[in-house]
């Protein structure tokens, strides 16, 4: 006799109950997890890098260390090198922001922004307009002037989802091709 209880099957063999788990097939995917999907950003300091292992360990302000894998497609803004030496110039203590995805328990860095004096520049202001489709962010600065920065594709799609007009933000940007291009921005009040 066999009965089904939820996802488990119970088989009664010779008067004893036997729990049988359903078979998992290779083509089956785990159910989606509600919450964060897509690219995630994490801010911290470089704890260790390994060119040989293509990894960087980042320590967050709360002391937690995160291991990120670096691929040939990982872009480092404000680093000293590129290509196969993507981690060059990211010494211990460098403030960075890692844009990554997590799949199968592995965190893969797609972009690393250096946030200290050797990396991206910063500007603070009050948001007057966020145009994600047009990839622009407009700010009112402390002196009353306004400034419009271009957004990277990642900044336009994945960054600052909680930012709206009148929010005070810090923007991390680089001068690229004669334009100020924002790589990351976040609320500061």
Residue 76: pLDDT over 90:
no
Which of 84-121 are b and which e, b meaning 16 or more Cβ less than 10 Å from the residue's Cβ? Answer: eebbebbeeebbbbbbbeeeeeebbbbbbbbbeeebbe
Residue 74 to residue 69: CA distance in whole angstroms? 9
In the sheet that holds 16-20, the strands lie side by side as: 2-5, 8-13, 16-20
Which segments of the chain does DSSP mark as H helices, in order?
Answer: 153-158
Number of Cα atoms under 13 Å in the Cβ half of residue 122: 14
Average pLDDT over residues 115-141: 91
Nearest to 57 by CA among 77, 48, 109, 94: 48
Average pLDDT over residues 39-60: 90
Residue 116: pLDDT over 50:
yes
Per-residue pLDDT, 107: 94
Residue 5: pLDDT over 70:
no
Binned at pLDDT 50, 70 and 90, residue 98 comes out as very high
pTM of the predicted model, to two decimals? 0.69
Residue 165: pLDDT over 90:
no
Average pLDDT over residues 149-173: 87
For the chain, how long is the longest CA-to-CA vector? 85
Domains delineated in the chain? 40-114 (2.40.50.320), 121-187 (2.40.50.320)
């Amino acid at each position: 006799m066999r009965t089904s209880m939820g996802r488990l099957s119970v088989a009664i063999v010779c008067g004893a109950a036997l729990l049988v788990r359903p078979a998992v097939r290779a083509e089956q995917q785990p159910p989606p997890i509600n919450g964060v999907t897509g690219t995630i950003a994490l801010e911290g300091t470089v704890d260790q890098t390994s060119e040989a292992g293509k990894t960087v360990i980042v320590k967050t302000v709360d002391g937690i260390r995160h291991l990120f894998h670096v691929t040939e497609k990982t872009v480092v803004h404000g680093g000293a090198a590129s290509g196969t030496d993507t981690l060059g110039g990211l010494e211990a203590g460098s403030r960075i922001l890692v844009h990554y995805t997590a799949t199968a328990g592995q965190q893969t860095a797609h972009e690393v922004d250096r946030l200290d004096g050797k990396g991206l520049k910063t500007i603070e202001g009050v948001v007057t307009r966020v145009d994600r489709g047009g990839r622009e962010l407009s700010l009112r600065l402390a002196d009353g002037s306004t400034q419009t920065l271009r957004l990277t594709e990642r900044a336009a799609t994945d960054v600052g989802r909680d930012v709206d007009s009148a929010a005070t933000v810090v923007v991390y940007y680089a001068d690229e091709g004669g334009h100020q291009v924002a790589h990351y921005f976040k609320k500061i009040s």
